[in-house]
Amino acid sequence: MKRFFSYDVVVVGGGSAGIAAAIGASQAGAKTILIERNPYFGGQVTHSNVASYCGFFTHGQNPKQIVGGVGNMVLEKLKEIGEYNGYTISPVGNAIVILEPEAVKFALDELLTESEVDILLHSQVIDVTKEDNKIISIECLDDEGRFTVEGKMFVDATGDANLAYLADIETVFGDGKGSSQLATLMMRIDHISENVSFNPSILKDAINAAKADGMKYLTKETGLVVRKDAKTDYAYAVLPSIKVDALDAKTLTEAEMNVRRQAQDYIKAFRKFMPGMEKCTLTQTGPKIGIRESRRIVGEYTLTVNDVVTSRKDESTIARGAWPIERHVNPDKMAEYIYVPDDTFYDIPIGVIKPKASTNLWCGGRTVSTDSVAFASVRVMGPAFATGHAAGVAAALTIGKENYDVKEVQKELLRQNAFINKEEEN
């Protein structure tokens, strides 16, 4: 028997943006469903072991929290279960929230259970039905077969703009000229001695020694290896990297196998050339390669590098960004950083979450409209929570309407404790 569901707002993608969109839409009064193809929520944190939330805080000596709303609800839930007690300053000076991926899975399960959002895991979107510029329904697949989800409004929070792409809505891949940021396979490494330092220069010396020793699958000469605190005997390494310029199965198969090969050489290098890591083990990779940059929409407004580097403010703001422009483009080097001036933030206007060519689709997270350089700032999970939250609220408030009212969206976001007022100090 054919299965059929009908909702006010349908959110596709259960990462940071999708969680925020679904809860935001529900809190705004819409009957909402959240659809995720993986067996858990959390996106890159839980499916690629990106074990930190970046972009919740400004840079500098006294970081200020600039993401509230659903993002802050997640932090509070993590605090409730004993997994969050403030930010940590990373080795390159950014304020980050160190995470345990398994704790994030549980926290998000709990948060969604407490909400009025309907949820479906193990559900892959495979087709879209449209009329003119309006999405009518999506076709999904699980292990029992196909089912249809009809919606009045839709939110693409897939990270790769998969819903927009299936709906033939204009997207751009990478910089639009055939290049994109590196994708990286995260490594969890256990059995690390307490006295091991992961200073980038020490890493570089060890990796170069390994290359001279004949280990040929090492790409980055240095990178970030982060542990929760100085006494934990495990860490997450940001090292095996590759360019991924398409999302087809053949390209991704080759990429996954390549970076897993790299990971084995990094472990050999650490055991041989990093004192205190002689017995270290590679406990986990992935599960999926972490793709930083792929497709994103062409929106009513495109956020530019100039917006970021001038900390531009905008009357139509629906979110804030403060993470530096962090570009991973050189396979054998660390990321390149350009910081937001004066350790402040820039506004993200509503036009970046609204595709030009669709009447009932909103977008959040890595799918939003930016140029390739500005994207390197807005792509991280703090802004993803914020833009996703705004997309869900906007979707709920535009049901049955031809146009949106940015003031109405801002008012509802503020009611849901989002941080968008210029005057407020958080």
Task: Check residue 422 and give its pLDDT.
Answer: 53
Packing angle of the helix pair 16-27, 69-80 (nearest 10 deg):
110
CATH class of the domain defined by 182-285: alpha beta
Distance CA(327)–CA(366), nearest Å, equals: 14
Percent of residues in the chain assigned helix, strand, coil, to nearest 5: 30, 25, 40
Q: Tell me phi and psi for residue 246, to 5 degrees.
A: -160, 165
CATH of domain 3-176+293-415: 3.50.50.60
Q: Tell me phi and psi for residue 134, to 5 degrees.
A: -120, 130
Parallel, antiparallel or unpaired: strands 3-12 and 32-35: parallel
Contact 340, 346 (CB under 8 A): yes
β strands within 70-204, DSSP E: 88-89, 95-98, 118-120, 124-131, 134-142, 145-156, 171-173, 182-190
Distance CA(312)–CA(394), nearest Å, equals: 22
No. of H helices and E strands in the chain? 11, 20
Sign of the C-alpha dihedral, residues 387, 390, 396, 401? Answer: negative
Domains of the chain: which residue ranges? 3-176+293-415, 182-285
Q: Which among 129, 162, 159, 131 is positioned nearest to 146, based on CA atoms? A: 129
Q: Which among 209, 204, 208 is positioned nearest to 225, based on CA atoms? A: 204
Q: Cβ atoms within 10 A of the Cβ of 54, count? A: 21
Contact 53, 382 (CB under 8 A): yes
Per-residue pLDDT of the chain (426 residues; tens, 9 = 90+): 789 999 999 999 999 999 999 999 999 999 999 999 999 999 999 999 999 999 999 998 899 999 999 999 999 999 999 999 999 998 778 999 999 999 999 999 999 999 999 999 999 999 999 999 999 999 999 999 999 999 999 999 999 999 999 999 999 999 999 899 999 999 999 999 999 999 888 999 999 999 999 999 998 888 889 888 878 999 999 999 999 999 999 999 999 999 999 999 999 999 999 999 999 999 999 999 999 999 999 999 999 999 999 999 999 999 999 999 999 998 777 788 999 999 999 999 999 999 998 999 999 999 999 999 999 999 999 999 999 999 999 999 999 998 999 999 999 999 999 999 754 444
Task: Check residue 127 and give its pLDDT.
Answer: 98
Contact 419, 65 (CB under 8 A): yes
DSSP code string of 230-285: TT-SEEEEEEEEEE----SHHHHHHHHHHHHHHHHHHHHHHHHHSTT-TT-EEEEE
Contact 258, 242 (CB under 8 A): yes
Contact 23, 77 (CB under 8 A): no
DSSP code string of 314-332: -TTEEEEE-S-EEE---TT
Q: Cβ atoms within 10 A of the Cβ of 73, count? A: 22
Q: Which among 114, 125, 34 is positioned nearest to 74, based on CA atoms? A: 114
Distance CA(125)–CA(164), nearest Å, equals: 11
Which residue in this structure is represented by tokens 């006295």? 195
Distance CA(208)–CA(163), nearest Å, equals: 43
Q: Cβ atoms within 10 A of the Cβ of 225, count? A: 24
The pTM of the full predicted model, rounded to 2 decimals, is 0.96
**Cβ-based neighbours of 184, under 8 Å, separated by 6 or more:** 238, 239, 240, 241, 259, 289, 290, 292, 328
Distance CA(71)–CA(324), nearest Å, equals: 19
Packing angle of the helix pair 249-273, 200-212 (nearest 10 deg):
100
Q: Tell me phi and psi for residue 415, to 5 degrees.
A: -60, -30
